[in-house]
Amino acid sequence: MFDYHMKHMEQSSRHFFRPVESTCHRVPLEEVLLSTGHVSKHPIDSTLQFTDYWDGIMEDPSSSAGPLSHPCALTQAGLIHSITKTLSSTDDPFLSSPLTQKEMEGAIKRMRGRSLPGMDGLTAAFYQLDPGIFGVSANCLRRSTSPGLFVSLST
């Protein structure tokens, strides 16, 4: 099994291990525009502006960038208004129920085998060898949580 995985999965190449181009890491930030409208050359101000900017991107409510604007809001609204069918209240218990072992095995079988590896570094093809053995633990399925590791479903 391990040999199959090593032969058919992603492999490192020279391109992956090449040195970083010098132009990528030698571009200094000499000045930064502060939220007050002033330009500062102080490194602390640059750091704070950088952090504040990315806090806004990651939707930190304490960021001075404020809430993110959603450029696709009109498209999203149009899509939502185009939906003509809705679910009935009788569908809710079925949709809210946790995944079963059989459903999880089916999902693993239908995944693209060469999809990117998860936290364990193994691609879907590894788990597709025997989804009943290599799957998400039943405890994770019951709790509807994301597993950190894949373990046997049959235990």
Is 155 found in the same domain as 108? yes
Q: How far apart are the C-alpha atoms of 87 and 93, rounded to whole Å?
A: 11
Q: How far apart are the C-alpha atoms of 131 and 110, rounded to whole Å?
A: 11
Which tens digit of pLDDT belongs to each residue from 50-80?
A: 888 777 777 666 666 555 566 677 788 888 8
User: Is residue 53 in a domain?
Assistant: yes
User: Is residue 92 in a domain?
Assistant: no
Q: Which of 47, 68, 89 is the last residue of a domain?
A: 68
Backbone angle region of 59, left / alpha / beta, with phi > 0 → left and psi within -120 to 50 → alpha:
left
| Residue 56 near residue 65 (C-beta atoms within 8 A) | yes
3-state secondary structure (DSSP) of residue 27: coil
Mean pLDDT across the chain, nearest whole number?
72
User: Is residue 123 in a domain?
Assistant: yes
Q: How far from 116 is each of 9, 11, 68, 112, 152, CA to CA, in Å?
A: 10, 12, 29, 9, 21
Q: How many domains does the chain have?
A: 2
Range of the domain at 143: 98-155
Q: How far apart are the C-alpha atoms of 10 and 121, rounded to whole Å?
A: 10
Which tens digit of pLDDT belongs to each residue from 78-99?
A: 888 898 988 888 888 888 888 7
pTM of the model: 0.34
Is 58 found in the same domain as 102? no
